[in-house]
Structure 1
């Protein structure tokens, strides 16, 4: 049967009026209308902006690749690193 019966609609409208009150219903409907209008205008703007943005933006080039220079044991010794886990050596601070 569903909500196709006029009695179901009448009961539903009566419940809404009782819950929200007759003074707040016009304000709620007005706010809903404004929200729908803003939503529709934003959707139209997104559709218009989507086509023009891709034509105006130049294609992005790939970032330059940085190749890592091979390190030798001498380079690691000078920088204070050992081969075991690249742990930094602490200088002996005994006086």
Structure 2
């Protein structure tokens, strides 16, 4: 009741092949393998070098909306 036998898995595999077809399954496998390889390469490149610089801050056009509150800190004189 808790575990499936080999015959159960073969029947499930047969149904999946009948639904998707071998060509689509081959493409999915290739895409998944490429994604895993790209992830591994990215992890390898990220840990070997210096830390990446933070991305630029996005600024809004202050004149576009008169209801926008400017939150820049102002010094009291």
Structure 2 length as normaliser, TM-score?
0.56
* Equivalenced residues, count: 55
5+ residue gaps, structure 1: 55-65, 70-95
> How far apart are residue 23 of structure 1 and its match?
2.1
| Corresponding position of 1:30 | 30
Q: RMSD across aligned C-alpha pairs, in angstroms?
A: 2.1
5+ residue gaps, structure 2: 53-73
Greater relative contact order (Cα < 8 A, sep 6+): 2
The CA distance in 2 between the partners of 1:23 and 1:53, in whole Å, is 41
Larger Rg: 1
Structure 1 length as normaliser, TM-score?
0.47
The CA distance in 2 between the partners of 1:47 and 1:12, in whole Å, is 40
Correspondence 1:13-52 to 2 at 5 A: 13-49=13-49, 52=50
